Chain A
């Protein structure tokens, strides 16, 4: 199964949905993501067969420790894409096209490391040979919004929509989680990013992007992220982290996050 995950790095990731995925037995995933701790958690649990991504980062911590470990141990297959290729691959899928032409990627080692990538030649006078970014068709997309209604319309109130609408348009099924379910939307119409015809299910998951940021509702939980990175550095510590935060359901997770000692929360 190919799963696209919205957000960007450690920003507005549908982390509650990722945690829910970890509680199922789903494995051998192809994950499509501007990667952050979503990729890290799935990689740590051995759920990713193939990762399609232009990068994986925790923003305030540049490198994602579980992704690094998975790459360095050869635990996952990595399709390394350029960011503009990624944009056009999602756009092609959203438009039901087989590919979109793009200059980014040409000349670099990205096509050399990815034998499925092909070029396409312009039929016009310029005759340029460009990269054909293949459609990133998704079985499922997971995105997290600030607000949604029960029909599946989603509203993004932060400064950046990232590619979340494209993820929903590139997928056969989309599951949208949100901070608040509303009866009627307030705010500018441009913030109504996701539309119900592209959404299969809506979930109310307050603080569901934790520990990534979800502006303007909350910022990144930097202390928790640092604890995550520290725990990832050692198998024993990681098992303790999993037992403490990831063994139960979403309510248990949020209770465990709230239950940290004050010095831990600010460490």
Chain B
């Protein structure tokens, strides 16, 4: 389905991801997944022109349109120190997320003998205690949004508050973008809140597909439409082959 501007669900998602980096200044926009990567590039080309972007390996891109032009070198080791210095806002994936934003990419089931082994914690523990983190969930479901994650890879607000200043000092989860909605933690105790629903999605649909009670205050707004310029950049410059549609089912 499309919206008044003719945007697809995937395009709504890309713009909702791009919004995560609004106002972020001169930091690295790091991503996992196609839709967040397009969002970071779109933000860089529009409202957040000072963002740093990588080619997904060791190079910093000079312009998002041309992966051949680089402006710097960021091998794995330097990437880790940049993250530790806090000059980074990463949008990670999540196999599980709970109401305080604890995230799991390690394994499903009992950690000692998992039902399904996934990646391992990777950099999720250090990312979440060092710099802003957001999440991208391409398929919003109660399997992802669970009351309690099986292994805390990425640190949530309740853990950060309980663990003392070294953990809470630089901790901050910004938003969770899914194929249905945008969620954030803008409640007094940082419980996950329904910030907006994508055009054509009902709040009940989001509630049904979430395994815990979401905070909802008042009328839930609709996720904003892409501008004409954003649609043009996305369709003609950043993703002419439509790779975004492979990640978001419509």
Contact = CB atoms under 8 A, between A and B. Distances in A.
A105 interface: yes
A54 B121 contact: yes
A62 interface: yes
Interface string A40-67: 0000000000000111110000110001
A161 interface: yes
A72 interface: yes
B111 A109 contact: yes
Contacts of B130: 103-104
Interface in A73-115: 74, 80-85, 87, 102-110, 112-113
Interface string B105-119: 011000111111111
Interface string B84-111: 1000000000000000000000110001
A107 B122 contact: no
B77 A83 contact: no
A242 interface: no
A71 B123 contact: no
Interface residues of B, number: 47
A56 B119 contact: yes
A106 B152 contact: no
Contact of B84 (A54, A63, A104): A104
Nearest to A53: B120
Interface string B125-147: 11111100000000000000000
A262 interface: no
A163 interface: yes
Contacts of B165: 128
Contacts of B124: 82, 108
Contacts of B121: 54-55, 80-82, 108, 110
Contact of B57 (A56, A102, A160): A160
A108 B125 contact: yes
A54 B159 contact: no
A15 B119 CA distance: 21
Contacts of B152: 107-109, 112
Contacts of A71: 107, 113-114, 117
A87 B80 contact: yes
Contact of B80 (A56, A68, A74, A83): A83
B80 A107 contact: no
B155 A107 contact: yes
Nearest to A71: B117
Given A54-B121, A106-B163, A161 B77 contact: yes
B164 to A, nearest CB: 6
Given A71-B107, A84-B84, A159-B75, A104 B123 contact: yes
Interface of B: 57-59, 73, 75-77, 80, 83-84, 106-107, 111-130, 151-155, 159-160, 163-167, 169-171
Interface of A: 8, 35, 53-57, 62-63, 67-68, 71-72, 74, 80-85, 87, 102-110, 112-113, 128-130, 159-163
25 contacts: A55-B119, A55-B120, A55-B122, A56-B120, A57-B119, A68-B116, A72-B113, A80-B121, A82-B125, A84-B83, A84-B123, A103-B170, A106-B155, A106-B163, A107-B152, A108-B125, A108-B152, A108-B155, A108-B159, A112-B152, A113-B151, A128-B166, A160-B57, A160-B75, A160-B76
